[in-house]
Amino acid sequence: MAFTKFILPALALTSTVLAQTSTDICAGPSITIASSADAEQIADCTNYKGDVTIDSSASGTLQLNGVRQISGDLLCNNATQLTAITSDQLNTIGGSFSLTGLTILSTLSFDSLTGINKINWVGLPALQALNFAQSVDRANTVLISNTQLNNIEGIDLTAVSSLDINNNPYLTSVNVNSLKNVTTAISFSANGRDLEILFPNLENAANLTFRNVSKVDMPSLNTVGGSMGFYSNSFETFSAPNLTQTGGTLAFVDSPNLANLSFPSLTQIGGGFLIANNTDLKAIGGFGKLKTIVGALDFAGTFDSVDLVITEVRGGSNVQTTSTNQTICQLFDKAHDAGVIRGINTCITGKANPESNPTSTSGGSATSSTSKPDAGNALAPAMSMAGLVGAVAALLFI
């Protein structure tokens, strides 16, 4: 048949050309697509070795089907008419998955995606949920900012270098069950007012910063290599039952409802120890095993008592409270005299506006005692507290 004769060579030719083309295309280094039809060019690629950019003119739904790996970036910036990005087989993005300024994007649906080097999602104000059937379990850095996400279900990492989640006003729940290690930092700020964060299995973290959250639960946390800071949170209690040490500063600041801290296993704070402006925190305590503060101690607030058994503060101390309980300053002065506090000790009770780490110590309305560091203290740290520990601890911070 003439018809068959005609059509067969044509098909054969077409598939040869396609195979040829797709081999070339799969080698990258980059492709820009504006539609699902454009995306078909890389549908046969097991691994697209380059960057895929979704053009800002893309609109409606863009299907990125077939391709399994993108070794470079998957980028889409300012496609303000794009509502959905979907993919059936893509499982790995070797570079950044960067989505920015996608004002009406409401659907991110990836059936097979499990590994992303960098997640960078910024300015996705219509995105309420992720639809990642397999859950992303590997990512080095994650930045999620200015989205409408309620949670981050679909991201369940076992380890991450940095996780920064900020300005997602509808985010109320984060539970990353698999997360065990954080090698650089976790930071949350300015998300939903009622954000509750749960990292049930997190054991080792580098830096941890939580701002504007209503709950943080990390029952397994054992070691914080860097600093751990809590700012402007609404929770009433915070407990780190298994935390043994921090490598940097531990801070609780500006949390008006905070009334109880519990760090029963903490023995050393590797930086400063800052507690400031937590108006409901009337008793500073809950640090039954804390012995060493490598940096300075800085407490400012309305607390009526300080119960610690610290044996070594290598920096100075600043303690200012509205309370008129003079015993507090007696204890700190004694601690300083005994060499437990090595730097300058400033302690003021009855202070109308307690200041943290002030540049000068003027303006105290009640007892004020400022001591100078012992000249002799420049000697060996080794001779420090050894002989004093027992007596001083007992005397001092009861």
Ligand X SMILES: *[C@@H]1O[C@H](CO)[C@@H](O)[C@H](O)[C@H]1NC(C)=O
Q: Which residues bind ligand X (CB under 6 A)?
A: 77-78, 101, 158-159, 180-181, 184-185, 190, 204, 206-207, 211-212, 219-220, 225-226, 231-232, 237, 239, 242, 247, 253-254, 260, 262, 276-277, 286, 304-307, 325, 327-328, 331, 356, 398
The C-alpha torsion from 253 through 226 and 175 to 102, rounded to 10°, is 90
Q: Minimum distance from CB of 292 to ligand X (Å)?
A: 18
Phi, psi of 311 (to 5 degrees): -115, -5
Instruction: Evaluate whether 348 touches 370 at the Cβ level (below 8 Å).
Output: no
Q: Minimum distance from CB of 152 to ligand X (Å)?
A: 18
Cα-based distances in Å from 185 to 72, 138, 264, 280, 282: 24, 16, 24, 29, 30
Toward ligand X, which CB reaches closer, 26 or 206?
A: 206
Whether omega for the bond prior to residue 29 falls within 30 degrees of 0, making it cis, is: yes
Structure tokens of 369? 């005692």
Toward ligand X, which CB reaches closer, 242 or 257?
A: 242
Toward ligand X, which CB reaches closer, 76 or 119?
A: 76
Which amino acid is present at 155? Answer: I
Q: What angle do CA 221, 222, 225 make, to 5 degrees?
A: 100
Toward ligand X, which CB reaches closer, 105 or 328?
A: 328
Toward ligand X, which CB reaches closer, 46 or 158?
A: 158
Phi, psi of 159 (to 5 degrees): -145, 150
Distance CA 370, CA 385 (A): 21
Q: Minimum distance from CB of 110 to ligand X (Å)?
A: 22
Distance CA 165, CA 139 (A): 14
Toward ligand X, which CB reaches closer, 225 or 350?
A: 225
Q: Minimum distance from CB of 387 to ligand X (Å)?
A: 24
Q: Minimum distance from CB of 263 to ligand X (Å)?
A: 10
Q: Minimum distance from CB of 339 to ligand X (Å)?
A: 20
Q: Minimum distance from CB of 67 to ligand X (Å)?
A: 23
Q: From the centroid of its chain, how far is CA 182?
A: 9
Q: Which residues touch 84 (CB under 8 Å, ≥6 apart)?
A: 60, 61, 62, 105, 106, 107, 108, 109
Distance CA 342, CA 15 (A): 79
Cβ neighbours, 10 Å, residue 299: 25
Q: Minimum distance from CB of 356 to ligand X (Å)?
A: 4
Toward ligand X, which CB reaches closer, 146 or 384?
A: 146
Toward ligand X, which CB reaches closer, 26 or 31?
A: 31
Per the DSSP assignment, residues forming a β-bridge with 251 are: 229, 274
